[in-house]
Amino acid sequence: MSQPDIPPSPWGRPRKRPVPVRHPLTRDRIVDAAFTVLDREGYDGLSMRQVAAELDVAVSALYAHVSGKDELLELMYHRLFEGVELPAPDPARWQEQVKDYMRAGRARLREHRDMARISMSQVPFTAELLPHVEQLLAIIRSAGLPDRVAALAGDLLSVFMEGFTLEESIWQERYRDMDEESWNAMRSEIQEYFASLPPDRFPNLVAVAGLMADESNDYRFELGMEIIIRGLASYVGEK
């Protein structure tokens, strides 16, 4: 089961040695608690002290298992990728496979409040994540894209997925403590606002006002993917 170790990336931050603990505090338990706090308090309320409190433990105890908050965030980010299945590349279905990869990513980001914010400040090039990068790259390269496009496509797709989900979650967070009623009021207010802009100065915004305040994020995400993939597909066969 144990594969040969992937050498640690030179830019990754040095880890604390994984000391086998008999009992309680482990990195995993800390990460679990961190997610609990994140979901309850949001990103701005995610503090080492809150995590420690969640575990009924002194703050300083955390630092024996985790080098600091940065590493904790990194570990949370890694959680995102745990247990995702990586299908074998099927050149005939590369577009659908890419979309599935993106959909899965967005879904996982949405599982935890403010997760997109954490994800955005991480660079997915640590050793643990290489298999996923490799897999996406495999799917894209199997489609017959030129290497210079393939090398960028992963970034492009990830940036869209994370950025889109981040924007989604910012809106969501902004109206977090609003009841259904005032949220609907707000929505129609926004729509009215766009529609009521001076049409001579904002003709285009007014024209698409209905579409912009439309809340079908799923559709918008699908369309965004389709646009990018069409762009990628236009390079198939090029050198």
Partner DNA sequence: TCTCCTTCTGAACACTGTTCACGATAAAGT
Partner DNA sequence: ACTTTATCGTGAACAGTGTTCAGAAGGAGA
CB atoms within 10 A of CB 90: 11
How far apart are the C-alpha atoms of 78 and 207, rounded to whole Å? 43
Residue 144, contacted partner among a second copy, DNA, none, CB below 5-8 A by kind: none
Beta strands per DSSP E along 37-139: none
Exactly one of 28, 96, 155, 218 binds a second copy (CB under 8 A); that residue is: 155
Residue 23, contacted partner among DNA, a second copy, none, CB below 5-8 A by kind: DNA
7-26: which residues touch DNA (CB under 7 A)? 14, 16-17, 19-25
86 counts as binding a second copy under rule CB under 8 A: no
Instruction: Select from 26, 25, 53 the least CA-distant residue to 41.
Output: 53
How far apart are the C-alpha atoms of 233 and 131, rounded to whole Å? 24
Cβ–Cβ under 8 Å, residues 142 and 18: no
4 counts as binding a second copy under rule CB under 8 A: yes
CB atoms within 10 A of CB 18: 9
The binding site for a second copy (CB under 8 A) comprises: 3-4, 6-7, 9-11, 117, 120-121, 123, 130-131, 133-134, 137-138, 141, 147-153, 155-156, 159-160, 162-164, 166-167, 170-171, 174, 186, 189-190, 193, 196-198, 201-205, 207-208, 211-212, 220, 223-224, 226-232, 234-235
